[in-house]
Amino acid sequence: MRAVLRFVTYKITRDPDGEVTFQARCVCGDDKECGAESNVLGGEEAVSDWMAEHTVATGHRRFERIFKDYALVQAEG
Protein backbone atom coordinates (compact mmCIF):
# COMPACT_ATOMS: atom_id res chain seq x y z
CA MET A 1 0.00 0.00 0.00
CA ARG A 2 1.20 3.55 -0.80
CA ALA A 3 0.28 7.01 0.44
CA VAL A 4 1.47 10.34 -1.03
CA LEU A 5 1.80 13.18 1.46
CA ARG A 6 3.56 16.51 0.76
CA PHE A 7 5.10 15.02 -2.43
CA VAL A 8 6.78 12.18 -0.55
CA THR A 9 5.56 8.66 -1.17
CA TYR A 10 5.29 6.42 1.82
CA LYS A 11 5.24 2.67 1.53
CA ILE A 12 3.27 0.79 4.14
CA THR A 13 3.98 -2.85 4.81
CA ARG A 14 3.09 -5.33 7.51
CA ASP A 15 5.73 -5.60 10.21
CA PRO A 16 6.93 -9.23 10.08
CA ASP A 17 7.97 -8.97 13.75
CA GLY A 18 4.48 -7.89 14.86
CA GLU A 19 1.95 -10.45 15.96
CA VAL A 20 -1.18 -10.80 13.81
CA THR A 21 -4.22 -11.55 15.94
CA PHE A 22 -7.91 -12.27 15.47
CA GLN A 23 -10.80 -12.09 17.89
CA ALA A 24 -14.54 -12.59 17.50
CA ARG A 25 -17.47 -11.31 19.54
CA CYS A 26 -21.03 -12.56 19.20
CA VAL A 27 -23.39 -9.67 18.36
CA CYS A 28 -26.44 -11.88 17.92
CA GLY A 29 -29.58 -11.02 19.87
CA ASP A 30 -32.68 -8.84 19.39
CA ASP A 31 -32.87 -6.72 22.55
CA LYS A 32 -29.39 -7.29 23.87
CA GLU A 33 -26.25 -8.59 22.21
CA CYS A 34 -24.99 -11.96 23.41
CA GLY A 35 -21.49 -10.44 23.81
CA ALA A 36 -19.61 -13.73 24.08
CA GLU A 37 -15.97 -13.16 23.13
CA SER A 38 -13.28 -15.51 21.93
CA ASN A 39 -9.77 -15.26 23.28
CA VAL A 40 -7.30 -13.28 21.20
CA LEU A 41 -6.21 -15.93 18.69
CA GLY A 42 -3.21 -16.24 16.39
CA GLY A 43 -5.01 -17.22 13.20
CA GLU A 44 -8.17 -16.77 11.16
CA GLU A 45 -8.84 -20.51 11.28
CA ALA A 46 -8.83 -20.55 15.08
CA VAL A 47 -11.36 -17.71 15.24
CA SER A 48 -13.53 -19.44 12.61
CA ASP A 49 -13.52 -22.61 14.71
CA TRP A 50 -14.56 -20.61 17.79
CA MET A 51 -17.49 -19.00 15.92
CA ALA A 52 -18.65 -22.36 14.55
CA GLU A 53 -18.52 -23.88 18.03
CA HIS A 54 -20.49 -20.95 19.45
CA THR A 55 -23.11 -21.32 16.70
CA VAL A 56 -23.48 -25.05 17.44
CA ALA A 57 -23.83 -24.36 21.17
CA THR A 58 -26.22 -21.38 20.96
CA GLY A 59 -27.66 -21.05 17.43
CA HIS A 60 -26.14 -17.55 17.24
CA ARG A 61 -24.96 -16.65 13.74
CA ARG A 62 -23.67 -13.07 13.71
CA PHE A 63 -20.25 -11.97 14.94
CA GLU A 64 -17.98 -8.96 15.00
CA ARG A 65 -14.42 -9.86 14.01
CA ILE A 66 -11.43 -7.87 15.19
CA PHE A 67 -8.22 -8.17 13.22
CA LYS A 68 -4.97 -6.62 14.37
CA ASP A 69 -1.56 -6.33 12.76
CA TYR A 70 1.41 -3.98 12.89
CA ALA A 71 2.41 -1.73 10.00
CA LEU A 72 5.69 -0.10 9.03
CA VAL A 73 5.84 3.22 7.15
CA GLN A 74 8.86 3.96 4.98
CA ALA A 75 9.49 7.13 2.96
CA GLU A 76 10.37 6.37 -0.66
CA GLY A 77 11.94 9.74 -1.45
Question: Distance (Å, rounded) from C-alpha 17 to C-alpha 20?
Answer: 9
Whether 54 contacts 36, CB under 8 Å: yes
24 touches Zn ion (CB under 5 A): no
**Cβ nearer to Zn ion, comparing 19 with 64:** 64
Determine, following the binding rule CB under 5 A, whether residue 25 of this chain makes contact with Zn ion.
Answer: no
Residues 42-71 that bind Zn ion (CB under 5 A): 58, 60
Given a contact cutoff of 8 angstroms between Cβ atoms, the answer to whether 14 and 72 are in contact is yes
Contact predicate 52/58, CB 8 Å: no
Q: Which of 20, 34, 46, 66 binds Zn ion (CB under 5 A)?
A: 34
- Nearer to Zn ion (CB atom), residue 22 or residue 24: 24
